Amino acid sequence: EPEVTQTPSHQVTQMGQEVILRCVPISNHLYFYWYRQILGQKVEFLVSFYNNEISEKSEIFDDQFSVERPDGSNFTLKIRSTKLEDSAMYFCASSLTGDGNTIYFGEGSWLTVV
Amino acid sequence: AQKVTQAQTEISVVEKEDVTLDCVYETRDTTYYLFWYKQPPSGELVFLIRRNSFDEQNEISGRYSWNFQKSTSSFNFTITASQVVDSAVYFCALSERYNYGQNFVFGPGTRLSVLP
């Protein structure tokens, strides 16, 4: 069964460092997303991406964050200068369409900022 | 205002008991979609069910069943004869149409512990 894959599964980084989280969405999906979940809290929307541009972003997704689809398969989330409060599980997801279609999530990348 | 409310933060049951997880949503759209996801201790988000706003039929899948009631804006999830492997956090989610995509919002989750 097709699935969303994410790397790395866990990354520890020092405050102020740049981090890139990578994702390979399901191959025929057109909409891509990043969500984050701070330990023990709810899953929060960060950004959605369609047709090579951001279609929607939340207030969490400030100038420190950026997304890119550098080639036909990868979808990346970059955090430019990490802060302690960026420590969270980051989920990549994709859906076939954007109209209420099921969003399938990867297994998450756990980011720890020290 | 929170769009998706899951009033039960934590529930503990003993194995073989039935348990119902509540979900109440808020939307002005006439077309929307509701979802349940399971997050086991390993952390991944596992899709369980998707429902559109025009389909109020209850659904049963094995030990799982879902009750969608538009009149009360609720989409409750029942596990029959619970098992230890059902222990997880369960999230209800709402999808509304937004510009070129969907506004997909999770509720705060209900942590279910099934004790042997």
pLDDT digit string, tens, across residues B29-42: 888 999 999 999 99
pLDDT in tens, A50-98: 989 998 899 999 999 999 998 878 999 999 999 999 999 999 999 998 7
In angstroms, how far is CA B18 from the centroid of its own chain?
Answer: 15
Q: What is the mean pLDDT of residues A91-106?
A: 89
In angstroms, how far is CA A18 from the centroid of its own chain?
Answer: 15
Q: What is the mean pLDDT of residues A98-105?
A: 85
**pLDDT grade for B96, boundaries at 50, 70 and 90:** confident
Distance from CA of A97 to the nearest CA of B (A): 8
- Tell me, what's the pLDDT at A99? 77
- Tell me, what's the pLDDT at B60? 87
Q: How buried is B70 (Cβ within 10 angstroms: 0-12 exposed, 13-18 middle, 19+ buried)?
A: exposed
Are B80 and B65 a contacting pair, CB within 8 Å?
Answer: yes
| pLDDT at B1 > cutoff 70 | no
| pLDDT at B98 > cutoff 90 | no
| pLDDT at A1 > cutoff 80 | no
The rounded percent of chain B whose pLDDT value lies above 90 is 76
pLDDT in tens, A7-45: 999 999 999 999 999 999 999 999 999 999 999 899 999
| AA identity, residue A65 | F
| pLDDT at B101 > cutoff 70 | no
- Tell me, what's the pLDDT at B66? 94
Torsion angle (degrees, nearest 10) of CA A109, B1, B5, B8: 100
- Contact yes or no for A91 and B45 at CB 8 A: yes
Q: A40 touching B, CB under 8 A?
A: no
Give the list of residues 6+ apart from residue A66 with CB closer than 8 angstroms, or none. Answer: A77, A78, A80
- Contact yes or no for B52 and A108 at CB 8 A: no
- Contact yes or no for B107 and A99 at CB 8 A: no
- Tell me, what's the pLDDT at B99? 60
Which of B27, B45, B95 to mutate to test binding with chain A, by most A CBs within 10 Å of its CB?
Answer: B45
Are A81 and A13 a contacting pair, CB within 8 Å?
Answer: no
Least confident of A5-14, A45-54, A105-114: A45-54
- Contact yes or no for A50 and B98 at CB 8 A: no
Q: Return mean pLDDT, chain B.
A: 92
- Tell me, what's the pLDDT at A39? 92
Phi, psi of A69 (to 5 degrees): -120, 85
